[in-house]
Amino acid sequence: MAAAQGRLSDGAGGMDEAKDTEEGAEHVSSTAPPAFRAAVDALRAARLRPQVEVEPTRPPQRLAPFSYALEAAVVDGDEDLADGRLVLLHDPAGHDAWRGTFRLVTLVRAELEPEMATDPLLPDVCWSWLTGALTARGLAFGEPSGTVTRASSHYFGGLSERPSASQIEIRASWTPREGLGEVPDTAAHLASWCDLLAQVAGLPPAGPGDASVVTLPQRRGPQSR
């Protein structure tokens, strides 16, 4: 599975600490607070659309007292159309910037058709996909922040035969509102995040109720896994 790399939207380099799945990635300490263990159990039990492959990965260690991470890829056959990483952070003492005890942090990326990358409205549209994916499932959240970045690569000399490539990256974080037992509905937040991944990958809407959702066209020549 392709692993998303980059810096977290909160300004910490936590994504760079978590590269590939390692032994112990699924382990949650028995000393972790019950609310955090319940939130992680809900992530593990979530039922997701089949095109999105999700697996645990080593979480960042310095962003919060407790953390858990997943990486995902939107898969079509043997090709990855988009990939990303979702990190659940928990600080039982609370965090002023989060305005809560939990925080979700993500990086999502996909390649684009070059003409799509020049659309001046693309960053605003991509950000609306994130917030729209959450509100579409009726999720309460606060303090959203993040960046949408477009990058283009052009090849010269010995690499001149390669076609130009464009990529979109969404780095974001938000505070999931806590429910019963002071535990957020992390399974629903994960499902919303997978909706975002699928949308960026250009997949059709998951259900008839989502027919109004506009997705990116599937990019040309998805990269091999």
Question: What's the pLDDT band for 86 if we cut at 50, 70, 90?
Answer: very high
β-pairing verdict for 79-95 and 165-176: unpaired
Measured in degrees and rounded to the nearest 5, phi and psi for residue 75 equal -115, 135
pLDDT digits (tens, 9 = 90+) for 97-151: 999 999 999 999 998 876 776 788 888 999 999 999 999 999 999 999 999 998 8
144 to 9, 78, 174, 195, 215: CA distances (angstroms): 10, 34, 4, 17, 22
How far is the C-alpha of 198 from the C-alpha of 52, rounded, in Å?
A: 7
Q: At 92, is the secondary structure helix, strand, or coil?
A: strand
Instruction: State the amino acid at position 132 in one-letter form.
Output: G
How far is the C-alpha of 205 from the C-alpha of 124, rounded, in Å?
A: 20
Q: Which carries the bigger pLDDT value, residue 12 or residue 74?
A: 74
pLDDT digits (tens, 9 = 90+) for 15-49: 444 444 444 456 666 678 899 999 999 999 988 88
Report the candidate in 86, 88, 91 with the shortest Cα–Cα distance to residue 33: 91
DSSP 64: S
* pTM over cut 0.75: yes
pLDDT digits (tens, 9 = 90+) for 44-70: 998 888 888 999 999 988 889 999 999
How far is the C-alpha of 141 from the C-alpha of 154, rounded, in Å?
A: 39
Torsion sign, CA atoms 217, 82, 70, 59: negative
